[in-house]
Amino acid sequence: MPATRPALTRRRALALGGAGALGATLLAACGPAQSPPPKVVAAIPPADPQRAAALRAAVAQASLAEHFGAPSPQLLHYAHPVDPAADAPFHYWWNAHAIDAAVDAWERTAAAVDLDRAQELRENLTLRNGDDLFNDFFDDMGWFALALLRLADAAGDDSALEDAIALHDHIWDLGWSTQGGGIVWQRGQYHYKNTPANGPFVIAGHRLHRTTGEARFLDRARASLQWWEDTLVEPDGFVQDGINRNRDGAIDTDWRFTYNQGLYVGACVEEFRTGGDPAWLDRAAMTIDVSLAELTDGPVFTPDGDGGDAGLFAGIFYRYAGQFLAEAEHTALTEFIVTSTDALFENQYRGDGTLVAGDDWSAPAPARTDLSTQLTAVMATEVAAAQYRT
């Protein structure tokens, strides 16, 4: 992400105010096709939760294409309705999560067109980033590395794996702090370290270790996790955002965000998968418990913000909550995924058969919404659908 970002869209603190046929529809809508894709208009049958969950995920994916799709090289508009000012900056990390969302669709549909879409988004991200993998934000590059690892695994693409390795090496070489450890947030701001930079690095490190067998990735991941736990993870499992942002040694305890909790859950799951110690799942469960107790409002999350970067935060929690549920049971979490996605569709499913999501799923969607917020709805509905797959 460029360092020169308009104030209303600058990262984080300033942004907080801001089946095969379906896959073909998604590809056509987000590519250079001239005619709009067909709408997915279907009832959501409450008596058949498995079918309902899959249908909702399909609707969310098709709605992403219909309402945010753009001709190349934009590929995805950053707001709905379309706003040229919103499209002006390049959101590197939003595009990385769009790759993840396309892989989510492939895992549900097994349609090759969904992997083609993920590849198109990957190539577009690099192209729009000046034909370069790297930028100045270490969390951005961590998200891209994670998306590339999933794409490499799904498509058997060695080049995606090579790019993920290059990103992880780059983050370690330039982002590891020699003053107390931890990955810093961005180049030029080496005093500030946070959960969003360390979380993706830890998760990617474990996955790279298991894929390649190389010890360096596991050593790095565990060094980062140790710093993270020592510094930002509370005894009750709540995960703080960052430290020393203002060069005062203070922890940002007021920034209580869903994605910080989701990243720690994901890191604990990866430690369990690597080493087999179930205590890591117990730690993850503590963080899930405190998240549901403190960050929800009835059946839904309290919004992390109003679109912008914050629109993606809850989606990241859902993604790693789904990873936890692939390894262990958690009744309250399973129920929350159901109740929250129920609320999303009860309040924001449109009369034309599409979904345009807002940040607050307990209310109708606002007139304007961001791509980040829509991606969270896609990610959550895909996690809900995945709970019925064996």
Task: Decide if pLDDT at 37 tops 90.
Answer: no
**Which H or E run includes 94?**
helix 92-109
Q: Cβ–Cβ contacts within 10 Å for residue 10, how many?
A: 18
Give tens-digit pLDDT for 311-340: 999 999 999 999 999 999 999 999 999 999
- Report cis status (omega within 30 of 0) of the bond before 81: yes
- Cβ-based burial of 375 (10 A; exposed 0-12, middle 13-18, buried ≥19): buried
Determine if the peptide bond prior to 73 is cis (ω within 30°). Answer: yes
Residue for token pair 């590059």: 141
Contact present, 15 and 60 (Cβ < 8 Å):
no
| pLDDT at residue 47, as a whole number | 74
**Residue 46 binned pLDDT confidence (cut-offs 50, 70, 90):** low
Over range 36-40, report the average pLDDT. Answer: 39
CATH of the domain spanning 7-386: 1.50.10.20
Encode pLDDT of 279-295 as tens digits.
999 999 999 999 999 99
Tell me what pLDDT residue 43 has.
Answer: 43
Contacts of 119 (CB under 8 A, 6+ apart): 151, 155, 157
Q: What is the reported pLDDT for 20?
A: 33
Is pLDDT larger for residue 30 or for residue 368?
Answer: 368
CA distance 93 to 137: 9
Mean pLDDT lowest among 26-30, 111-115, 250-254, 379-383: 26-30
Instruction: Write the CA distances from 200 to 6, 9, 193, 231, 339, integer angstroms.
Output: 25, 22, 13, 17, 28
Average confidence score pLDDT of the chain: 90
Rg from Cα positions in the chain: 19
| Res 230 pLDDT > 80 | yes
Q: At 108, is the pLDDT very low, low, confident or very high (cuts 50, 70, 90)?
A: very high
Average pLDDT over residues 129-138: 98
| DSSP result, 326-381 | TTS--HHHHHHHHHHHHHHHHHHB-TTS-B---S-TTSPPPS-EEHHHHHHHHHHH
